Chains A and B, each alone.
Chain A
Amino acid sequence: MSSLPHQPSHVASRRSGGPHTSMFLRMLVRAAVLRRGRAASALLAMVVAAAVATAMLNLYADVEAKLRKEFRSYGANVVVMGKDGTALPSDALSRVRSTLGGETIAVPFAYIVARTRDGQSVVVAGTDLGLVRQLNRWWSVTAWPSENGAALVGTRAATLVSRAGKPFDLSFQGRTIHLTTGGILQTGAAEDSRIYLNLPAFEAWTGVEPSTIEIAVNGSTQEINATIPRLARQLSAAQVRPLRQIVEAEARVLGKTRAALLAAAALIILTSALCLLATLTGWVFDRRRDFAIMKALGASERLLNGFFAAEAAALGVIGALVGFVIGIGLAAWIGRVNFHASVGPRVSVLPVVLAGSVAVALLSATLPISLLRRVEPAIILRGE
């Protein structure tokens, strides 16, 4: 203090405040220590409410990302096609990838109609089988072809071209290719009637380049709709369109799930807040004798209010912090059990939980105090 001799008013205020502050703190600490049981149960209620609120808010914030990952197993949601069935420019795929970033799966497809040895027509597609496997996880495939010259044959095409899995010949514009059946594909849709080849082998045989790129874009409906003009600007020679069937159904199911979860979260948070309010009100009300004694000893209204408010705020902060940690753990556990991926902690939830906890704590402290204020201390002390 000797370093501040030219600020006497400041020193004076600190001196006069000094003993008050330490007395105030001592009252707070002693109150918690002496009534351990009641303070602990109030704190427990606080922690549980904060934990449940944290877990629900965390889950709600993260569930969309988690579910979107599940929805991506429906495959592509955007298709790029050459206008009127013509081939795409040869750099189309690299342009798509550079526009969308590395995480997005984009798979090229080229189609022709070939003839079998007995003159039947069959659709042959050239693609990147490794990428298709990632994109269309619902494809039921007996074995993914690995060697060159092995084809993935649709189950209905298989009965036509190669009974019992024998090698077969296909011809396109006079050029013949000899293929083996590397695996049988079943999807229940048009793919069952097709034969899939790896793109290098397909292009070497037919000279036809990809006319379609199927893309699984991550993100919400708005993000997908925003991606489409960006792609279209990059690929002026092509049509870019969303697969509305996939995009709209996903938005619909996700929206309903989020709404149901929000309703559940609101109910749960409301219940725990009310439970907290009841517990804390009971706790403060129970200490009306302390209140009366302090008042009888001459404590001012402001000091009393400040005391109970500080107590409630301390309880709210401690409860919220402990509850936040437990709630993060709870959300992570739910994420692991249900989505096999942990729900990441969101620090942005902390201020919300903290503010909510302190608000409920203050509310439950001031309610009984305002009731007690009107009562004479003597009446309370006589136990009436």
Chain B
Amino acid sequence: MFLRLVYESFRRQKRRKVLAGVAITLGVAVATAMIAVATDIGDKINRELRSYGANLVVTPQEDTLDVEIGGVNLKPPSDGAFLNEADLPKIRGTFWAHNITGFAPMLPVTTKVNSSTNGREVTLLGTYFSKELKLGKEDFVTGVRATNPWWKVQGGWPDDNSLEVLVGERLASSLQLQPGDQIALAGQSHRVGGILSTGGAEDDEVVAPLGVAQQILGKPGSVRRIYVSALTKPEDALARRDPKTMNPETYDRWYCSPYVESIAYQLEEAIPHSHAQQIRQVAQNEGTVLSRIQGLMLLVTLAALFASALAVSAAMATAIFERRGEVGLMKALGGGSASIAALFFTEAVFLAALGGTAGYFVGVALAHQIGQTIFSSKITIQPVLFPIILAIAVAVTFLGSAAAIRRAVLLDPVFALRGEA
């Protein structure tokens, strides 16, 4: 009898059920989309923050002092220690390899550049543009095009295995060079692939594939420093502790957290005779910016959850209020308050399960849409979200209807049937 009442209620009052169901679907969809976006926005903004460039730098352990003003190196080029280029792919074998979005080796050399009209001493920077590397069976591509997205090239990016070079825009204008011109570097002829604009010291330099710089320096396979761009977790008290003073348990926790400090530690492990440290300008500030944006989205999500909970309860309250005549009839026929309330609650829960499921999938689609339009990448949705969302939907519907059901049940059937509530 009870089940038949529920079934008939859904069969006969399609319009009302659809309206309430739509309200629940909408509320749950907004809640799902907001929770999905808020949980994933940390990762998305972290990736956007990588456009500030590398946050870690790896240098040789026995390094001499840089004598550099405004990016111009004033030191004899062969001076100092070097890292081995062959060790570079090992960066992809470290514990947090998946968090390393790219790295670029740098080898600055001072050399003489001659164009057809004049010549002068310049810094030539050897690096990877987008070099294909191999570690074991894994192939990957890395270089300045990934780590330094603010570098703009007019013309084309040179191939990493070619002899083509990029010329910084101020150097190019003083030497009157165009993409496609030929220049002589240390006596050898190179084609200018493009004109590079960075807004930094590189505008006065020549940037070439690493092999070209190594050849001019006469040190094959050597690298001066490596810039590493990694997704990190904002620094906290644990991050700043010295790994040497930790007990094994804390050490494991520290080692397995993507702090900029622990990634630096792992880079030193991977590359022999190296010293890795954070670039504080980038690494320190991204933590603040990230936590502010995450906090903002969290609070906004709370507002969204509140608004959708309210929408669902309002819809349920209205739906039940409209049926007070029905309640009056049931009571007049001898229905107990408890069984009438149970009937309404069963309906509410059933509606919440249906609307919640539909709303979840609409919300997932909405989150994907937001991810594509704003961040041009997918928003990852944890599958565990589904039961949580469903539980919230049922709870909110239940609570939202409770007051209205109580009022409907307490109402005198005489008044209810005469429509004088």
Chain A contacts to B: CB under 8 angstroms: 41, 45, 48-49, 52, 55-56, 59, 63, 66-67, 70-71, 73-75, 81, 85, 111, 113, 120-123, 136, 138-140, 156-157, 160, 186-190, 193, 212, 241-249, 252-253, 256-257, 259-261, 263-265, 267-268, 270-272, 274-275, 278-279, 282, 286, 289, 330, 334, 337-339, 383
Q: Is B318 an interface residue (CB 8 A)?
A: yes
B288's nearest neighbour on chain A, judged by CB, is: A70
Asked whether A259 lies within 8 Å of B374 as measured between CB atoms, the reply is yes
**B242 CB-CB contact with A under 8 Å:** no
Residues of B within 8 A of A193 (CB): 65-68
**Which chain B residues border A264 with CB–CB below 8 Å?**
34, 37, 297, 300-301, 304
Q: List 9 A-B contacts (CB under 8 A).
A: A70-B288, A73-B288, A189-B279, A245-B53, A245-B150, A249-B51, A253-B293, A256-B48, A275-B315
Q: Give min CB distance, A168 to chain B, whole Å.
A: 14
Q: In the complex, are the beta carbons of B293 and A249 less than 8 A apart? A: no
| Known contacts A267-B34, A278-B318, A282-B322; is-contact A138 B280 (Cβ 8 Å) | yes
| Cα(A271)–Cα(B305), bound, Å | 10
B304 touches A73 (CB 8 A): no
Please state if A338 and B70 are interface contacts (CB–CB under 8 Å). no
User: Which of B355-406 touch A at CB < 8 Å?
Assistant: 366, 370, 373-375
A8 vs B74: C-alpha distance in the bound complex, in angstroms? Answer: 98
B8 at the interface (CB under 8 A from A): no
Residues of B within 8 A of A63 (CB): 296
A140 & B300 in contact (Cβ 8 Å cutoff): no
Q: Within 8 Å CB of A337, what residues of B? A: 295, 299
B280: A residues at CB distance < 8 A: 138-140, 186-189
Main secondary structure of the interface of B (DSSP, over half): helix
A-B contacts besides A67-B292, A334-B300, 6 pairs, CB < 8 Å: A52-B303, A71-B285, A73-B285, A81-B70, A261-B296, A261-B297
Q: A275 and B65 in contact (CB under 8 A), knowing A74-B281, A121-B74?
A: no
- Cβ B307 vs Cβ A189 within 8 A: no
Nearest CB in chain B: distance from A199 CB, A? 16
Give the residues in chain B near A157, CB-CB below 8 Å: 65
Q: Say whether B222 faces chain A, with CB atoms less than 8 Å apart.
A: no
Q: Say whether B213 faces chain A, with CB atoms less than 8 Å apart.
A: no
Instruction: Contacts A74-B52, A282-B322 given; indicate if A243 touches B278 (C-beta within 8 A).
Output: no
Cβ-closest chain B residue relative to A246: B52
Given contacts A249-B49, A260-B370, A278-B315, contact A123 B67 (CB under 8 A): yes
Q: Which of B258-277 contact A (CB under 8 A)?
A: 277
A282 to B317, CA, bound (A): 10
Of residues 207 through 238 on chain B, the ones whose CB sits less than 8 Å from some CB of chain A are none
B52 x A55 contact (CB < 8 A)? no
Instruction: Indicate if the CB atoms of A52 and B300 lie closer than 8 Å.
Output: no
Selected from A66, A263, A268, the residue in CB contact (under 8 A) with B307 is A268
Closest residue of chain A to B298 (Cβ to Cβ) is A338
Closest residue on chain B to residue A75 by CB atoms: B281
In the complex, A156 Cα to B64 Cα: how many Å?
A: 9
- Complex Cα spacing A252 to B48, Å: 7
Question: Measured between C-beta atoms, what is the minimum distance from B61 to chain A in Å?
Answer: 12
- Least distance between A360 CB and chain B CB atoms (Å): 13
In the bound assembly, the distance between CA atoms of A67 and B288 in angstroms comes to 10
A81 to B325, CA, bound (A): 83
For the complex, what is the distance from the CA of A186 to the CA of B308, rounded to whole Å? Answer: 49
> B17 an interface residue at 8 Å Cβ cutoff?
no
Which chain B residue shows the least CB distance to A116? B65
Q: Check: B57 CB closer than 8 A to any chain A CB.
A: yes
Chain B residues lying within 8 Å of A249, measured Cβ to Cβ, are: 48-49, 51-53, 150
Provided the pairs A74-B281, A334-B299 are in contact, do residues A339 and B68 lie with their beta carbons within 8 angstroms?
no
Check B314 for interface membership: any CB of A closer than 8 A.
yes
Q: B33, B57, B70, B419 — which one has the most chain A CB atoms within 10 A of its CB? A: B70
- In the complex, the 4 A-B pairs of residues with the closest C-beta atoms, listed nearest first: A244-B199, A275-B311, A282-B318, A138-B284
